[in-house]
Chains A and B, each alone.
Chain A
Amino acid sequence: MRKQNLYYIFACFVIIFSIFYLNKRQEVKKVPSSQRLANFPIELKGFTGETANPSSINFRDSSADESIFRFYTKNGDNRLIHVVIGYWENQNEEKKINLPRYTSNQWDYYWIRTKPLKLGLTAVSSKEFLNEKGAERELVYYCYIINGKIISNEYYFRFLSMLNLLLYGRNNAALLRVSMPVTDEWPVEKAEIYEESLMMEILPLLSKYI
């Protein structure tokens, strides 16, 4: 048999095998959180929290396996900082972490930047954007937590999800979103200080839950 025919048969075999493989692929394994997110502390260093109604926070993503919606206030100040933490035991076509930038109808953002945060000696990055609807504004921070890493870049997050799935057969991940209304009296600079200090309290604790 000529070599060319062998290659041809091999190509046919590869394609047929792929058809069967793709049709029989199993569900990605679920990795439950190590502690229930609902037990995440209400009291943090310098902040006090309370459970919020999900509809009162400008965020929509109902595909998380576990999620908490909270309002935190800095001790001695009654301004609300909105916190959403979502945990996905696994992700698939229907259930995956989407960009948290697009929120409710008519809300839009017009600038976004990467903001480094210092967690002890290590620096992690988060994304910061100003969300607005007419005269209403909110300053939003978000980051993803995957395989112990805190990252903000969507492409890198997708890449890590894919890599984890290929190497370890799992793609569990979490999303942290912190936001705060911004007004003329309460400008972006002040909201940044509050939100960043809250994130620095949440992030080290969060790793124990997921």
Chain B
Amino acid sequence: MTENRALILKFGVLTALLMALYFPELRSMVITWSDKKEYSHGFLIPLISGYVVWLKRDKLRGTPLICNVKGLFMLIAGIVLLIIGNISFESSIRQYSFILSVMGLVYFMLGIDMYKTLLFPVGYLLFMIPLPYIVMNSIAVNLRLVNAKVTYNVLKLLGIPILREGVNLELPNMSLVVADLCTGILSLVAIMALAVFYAYITQKNFISRVSLVLLAIPIAIFSNMFRLIMTVGLAYVYGQRILGDVIHQFHGTVNFFITVFLLIVAGKFIHKMDIKISKKALS
């Protein structure tokens, strides 16, 4: 018992030192969450991660604490990555190294069993890191064109006179551009974070969890397309005012809840399928 206390105390000291080391990165992340609304979900991620740790509290109490030197290598690898990211001025590398360092610290000070138990909540912190700029752009550019094409085809089928030139949509009363923010790439990140958490707490096995997370991608993309089609369609009928901030925002919020609803439906469906398969296997 005394040994465990000493170990936890040492763990606390190392955690404090690690936080001091990563303080500039953590501060920069918090600034990004508060400055850029597309990353505002970042504030929730540590809370969700903490909630998962709390859910595991009984298991954590029963897990033996055994210091493991392999974790020290992982911790050092994380710190080396931080230094590389610092030398090369790549904030993404620095921020991702934080997760590796925390994992290394847990493995080193608390042992392999504790590491396995905390792998999900610590790994989940990846969602609090803003996506690298170039990755974001590469995905966004493809999504923009696909969204513009689908919106054009659907509205044309509905009999709305529309022309498309690349990502520009021409209506008789106005011209619209499918911008990066319209691609849903930003809500996709938030929805993926939500889907991973939801899959973790509702699905029992790994395949079901992965299936739900994978299903979240088309759900998010299709619901964003639906939003775009609705916006362009309504802009044709009601004009420019439909693009005003309040209506646009409201539309986005409604769309987010529709996505969450679809995610829940998908989760329930996968869960039922899982039960059916288990029953079949038993019989």
Contacts and interface: CB of A to CB of B under 8 A. Distances in A.
- State the main secondary structure of chain B at its contact with A: helix
Interface size class of B (residues with CB under 8 A): 35 or more
Contacts of B133: 99
Contacts of A12: 13-14, 17
Interface string A110-142: 111000000000000000001010110000000
B87 A162 contact: yes
B167 A108 contact: yes
B76 A132 contact: no
A135 to B, nearest CB: 8
A11 B166 contact: no
A102 B10 CA distance: 49
A134 B108 contact: no
B177 interface: yes
Among A22, A132, A134, the most chain B Cβ lie within 10 Å of the Cβ of: A22
A21 B134 contact: no
Interface residues on A, range: 35 or more
A35 to B, nearest CB: 27
B175 interface: yes
A193 interface: no
A111 B148 CA distance: 13
Contact of A166 (B20, B82, B87, B166): B87
Contacts of A161: 88
Given A18-B79, A110-B141, 8 more contacts: A7-B67, A7-B72, A15-B21, A22-B21, A99-B133, A110-B144, A110-B145, A112-B141
A96 B91 CA distance: 13
Contacts of A8: 10, 14, 67, 109
